[in-house]
Amino acid sequence: MSDKQQEQSTTHFGYQTVPEAEKVHKVAEVFHSVAAKYDLMNDLMSAGIHRLWKRFTIELSGVRSGNRVLDIAGGTGDLTRKFSRLVGPTGEVVLADINASMLKVGRDRLLDQGIAGNVRFVQADAETLPFPDNHFDCITIAFGLRNVTNKERALESMLRVLKPGGRLLVLEFSKPGNKLLSTAYDQYSFKLLPFMGKLVTQDADSYRYLAESIRMHPDQETLKAMLEQAGFARVSYHNMTGGIVALHRGIKP
């Protein structure tokens, strides 16, 4: 692709169509804005259920002592903290996030909790992961894939750095199967979320974008096909909370 074609390539930023190069900066602004109150808003938005979604992700990961784990878009470190205990002193967890503000919040939080010995913090773009081939036993990305500009490229990058037999787990908002639930969820997302964002973080626009980004994210079957197209095998997904959230799992052949 030529430089001119790259300049003209567009993607979605919520419901807006923007140049691909611009999306990275726009998403960065959103997370710089919400980083300090990110955990509080997660608890408020999900009534604490996000902790159960993440616990199920941990259980399905199969991570054990001595493993090397990559937590992409690891943000404030919820998954990294649990993986650190599972892999033990002979394992390693890399918390990676493209956003410096989120990475700082996560690093400070984990260091305050005394979790550091087997954890590394890396500012990294999911589309061009700065790690060797066949390096990790498990990769997780929780509520981060929908913010990636080129999801296909990111999935291929994840496949590259996984060891053969390694697992990728993608935890992400998805599409409810029940029409009534879907309607109620729309009302909640587009009316209550921006209001809560304004009240707690003085930033309604960022939470309006987050609601829109969820609607623009591929549904369960589409994302399953994308993982398979990227080269993952035995791809499956589990719906949670009526399909509001789905956990996709794929294995590197």
* 43 is known to lie in a ligand binding site: no
Residues 60, 139: contact at Cβ < 8 Å?
Answer: no
Distance, CA of 53 to CA of 160 (rounded, Å): 26
Report residue 37 as tokens: 């109150």
Query: Inter-axis angle of helices 151-161 and 220-230, to 10 degrees?
Result: 50
CA dihedral sign of residues 69, 140, 137, 64: positive
Report residue 86 as tokens: 């599972």
Residues 135, 163: contact at Cβ < 8 Å?
Answer: yes
Residues 138, 63: contact at Cβ < 8 Å?
Answer: yes
Report residue 174 as tokens: 């998805």
Tokens 């587009």, located at residue: 190
Kindly report the CA angle at 13 between 159 and 72, in degrees rounded to 5? 30
Strand partners, 72: 96, 141
Would you put residue 129 in left (φ > 0), alpha (ψ -120 to 50) or beta?
A: beta
* 126 is known to lie in a ligand binding site: yes
Binding residues for S-adenosyl-L-methionine: 76, 97, 125-126
Which positions make up the binding site? 76, 97, 125-126
